[in-house]
Structure 1
Amino acid sequence: MDNEIVSSWHQGELAVQQRAGTDERMAEIGPKFIREFMPQQHRDFFQSLSMIFVGYTDHCSNAYASVLFGAPGFIQSPTETELVINTQSTIGDFIIEDLREGDHIGLVGIEFDTKRRNRINGVITDINQKNIKVKVLQSYGNCPKYIQPKEFAPNRSYSEFTTVSLDQLSQKYREIISSADTFFIASSFDDGQKFRNRGVDVSHRGGEVGFVSINAAGQLLVDDYVGNGFFNTLGNLLENPIASLLFCDWQTGHVLKIAVSSEILWHDEQQDSVVLAAGKVKRSLCFTPIKIEQFNNGLAYIQQF
């Protein structure tokens, strides 16, 4: 099998690409677009960030989405295949004991003012109470579509954490979701192979306020807008529907995290019991909440108006 060609995509991604009709284009684009190293501009980009969004799994294979903060430089790139992240500033839920060497991790960095966005899927090669060292397995940029521009100021109440957990959406949580123009989703898929295209992914979802709706059953509904055609997230969800959603209330500094079960709804498979989000799209995502947590004052930065 030494001459076996490994696809850039795992079986879930391939299945969704085939259903969406992008598989032939992705077979050509994947090897060119997805690198096993970071170009210098990506290294400079990550080192300039003051926050980075993280997807990971715990020892029970539950997916988590979180965000790490720091002054620019809290992320370092000693080589083109490594990132070292200082983890001492988090939203209070990032449990370092959940991670071990060899665990996969997904990272996405965004400059909300310039709409630049780059992603890393990697594996942890070293970890301690201060830093995580990540080896790059996949490195690629994303287009600026659907990123809502924002400017930030320090949150003076940051780190005064309090946590609230519920098993259903309260009116307050519904308002946070309904007024959101951005959220993040962590998903995972491990088929037991050690190829570079398996592991954990975290991705950004954005749109105009109201692009996430809530139906009568308390499910979150999101149209899947046209993107790069990779279907990293949908490919993972097809194989493993359990995911984690992260909503940041940039006005108050609070964070809402929701563990969910996911379903991909294609237009030819719509069910009468599910009301899709508005908009003529080929597919939508339906998220059924399992566990809801709010982290008060969990954001180091709040939106500056």
Structure 2
Amino acid sequence: MVIGETLLDRYTVQALLGEGGMGVVYRAVDERGHPVAIKRLHAEVATSPELAARFEREASAQAMLAHPNVAGLHAVGVTDEGALFFVLEYIEGHDLATELEHGPLVPLRAVTIAQQVLSGLHHAHQFGLVHRDLKPENVLLARTEGGEQAKLIDFGLVKMLTDVLGSNECQRLTRTGVVFGTPQYMAPEQMLAEPVDARTDLYAVGIVLFEMLTGQRPFEAEEVTELWQAHLNAPVPTLGELDPGLKLPDLDAILATLLAKRPDERFASAHAARRALESLAL
């Protein structure tokens, strides 16, 4: 993919926006001059014909998502070189990971972002779509006339790639720098290769919210095996343990529920989790 190239006869690539573990993101414009974002998957994963066909099928489900907290998916395609790409709503702003490089957020802002993330998740869950890789890099903070708006990207991408390529190949590619899932945000059932559902995403929301509030995740370790053991067995620290200025017992209780080891001990839905956050007096 090169600057000036036109894809699907209507999207003209203008500039490189950034690169992540799975792919490269470009800014482009459609035939009317409206901006879009194009994400091209890395060659290691984007050359499978089966993957391209699967992605096009999955895209029809993702295209049904129409929610202010989910980035819209416009189209899916394959370049002449066989690279798989998808065209997304262009979002003026940056991701939450970039925002957190400047330190933790004030509680009201952190909780507001979490509420918006949960709203987007609840909408997607109604269509049977589970994100499976929710993390700050997949939460974009859009600048709008009404203020800040969180938007989710990359729904179901990890599952799609794992289903087509196989878990062993995904693990091999992860070791070479292509990321399939992020251990720091994985729920215990994901680590144990057990069935996942909407409550798996709620666990990741708990990790992200904790990180927004304190500047660090509740479970940290140098080695992945140690990290997994912490997710599986370690109790959730209270916010006050990391920051004495964050003695918020009601918020601690919500985080403990989001981060329960067993899915059936978490909130029943993203909507229920959002309502709990809305009840806080911050």
- Asked if TM exceeds 0.5, the reply is no
> Greater strand percent: which structure?
1
- TM-score when scaled to structure 1? 0.30
Choose between structure 1 and 2 for higher RCO, CA contacts under 8 A separated by at least 6 residues: 1
TM-score by length of 2: 0.32
